[in-house]
Amino acid sequence: MRLILILVGVGLATGVMAGLMGVGGGIIAVPAMVFLLGLTQHRAHGTSLAIIVLTATASALNYGRYGNVNLQLAAELAVGTVVGSYLGAKLMNRVPAKDLRRAFGAMVIVVGVMMIWTGMSGFLTGVQ
Amino acid sequence: MLLELAIGVIAGLLSGLMGVGGGIVMVPAMTLLLGVEQHVAQGVSLIVIVPTAIVGASTHFRQGNVDLRTAVLLGVFSIVGGLLGSQVAQLLDRQWLQLIFGLFLLFTGSRMLGLRLGVKQEKKDVSTRTAS
């Protein structure tokens, strides 16, 4: 029973987050599988990617139904990500991951503040 | 065109290096740098994530790192969640989406800074220990 609740809860939370924000949802799925389901970090990572395929497809189709997609932009970005992922995998063991992670974390927080600012000023001016 | 490619490269690079998804880079880059509307940015991000995740998942699958049973069981509920979440996103104004996304960035960023000990950092510690 506990297992069913975990599966339903984690699955729904991962999906809702992904669909609501247009991201993969690995940040919920990976730790949940490690801590609640006992998967190793590696297996959780691989399994999370398989789940993301399903979630992102379903969510993307729903965005498409409302015309909230841009296929040309998606194609251009996708070409870039293929190159970037390849480079990332190559560089993985040659960069100080911890420092890079901290620097990127700080940048993510700054961008987060900018995003909240943009959203809030949208509320104030009432511009859609 | 060049800026779009560059954003893609950076998103791929960072997700490869740091294990965060590409969406966290792509969505803010599209809205703040390219001026793409928030809903569209999120939809585009999801489209780009699909092929990227397929490549990643099949690589991990060949290495035996996909737990199929868990993937199917969680996948079923995550599809339902994805449909729910994306439906809510269509109904919300872009300001709300940006507020939610901004908070998500603050959460993720603080985790990366190590303000709350994350799983990935423990893994990093283990790997450096075995390396040394």
Nearest to B83 by CA among A127, A43, A7, A11: A11
Find chain A residues with C-beta within 8 A of B56's C-beta.
46, 49, 85
The answer to whether residue A62 is domain-embedded is yes
ipTM of the complex: 0.90
pLDDT single digits (tens) B7-57: 999 988 887 777 677 899 999 999 999 999 999 999 999 999 999 889 888
Q: Are residues A104 and A52 in the same domain?
A: no
Q: Are residues A22 and A64 in the same domain?
A: yes
Q: Are residues A4 and A58 in the same domain?
A: yes
Is the Cβ–Cβ distance between A114 and B27 less than 8 Å? no
Q: Are residues A65 and A107 in the same domain?
A: no
Pick the residue of A101, A114, A121 with the most B CBs within 10 A to test the interface with B by mutation: A101
Q: Show the domain range for A63.
A: 1-70
pLDDT single digits (tens) B58-102: 888 998 999 999 999 999 999 999 999 999 999 999 999 999 999
The answer to whether residue A75 is domain-embedded is no
Cβ count within 10 A of residue A120: 14
Find chain A residues with C-beta within 8 A of B110's C-beta.
105, 109
Nearest to A74 among B48, B85, B87 (CB): B48
Mean pLDDT of all residues in A3-20: 95
Find chain B residues with C-beta within 8 A of A100's C-beta.
17-18
Q: In a 3-state reduction of DSSP, which class is residue B113?
A: coil
Full-model pTM: 0.87
What's the structural domain count of chain B? 1
> A18 falls in which pLDDT band (50, 70, 90)?
very high
The answer to whether the Cβ–Cβ distance between B86 and A80 falls below 8 Å is: no
Cα–Cα distance list, B113 to A34, A86, A105, A121, B10 (Å): 20, 25, 5, 27, 19
What's the structural domain count of chain A? 2
Q: Show the domain range for B29.
A: 2-131
The answer to whether the Cβ–Cβ distance between A63 and B16 falls below 8 Å is: no
Find chain B residues with C-beta within 8 A of A101's C-beta.
18, 112, 121, 124
Q: Are residues A6 and A40 in the same domain?
A: yes
Interface of A with B in 56-115 (CB under 8 A): 56-60, 62-64, 66, 68-71, 73-74, 76-89, 91-92, 95, 97-98, 100-102, 104-109, 111-115
Euclidean distance between the first and final Cα of chain A, in Å? 45
Q: Are residues A52 and A14 in the same domain?
A: yes
The answer to whether residue A80 is domain-embedded is no
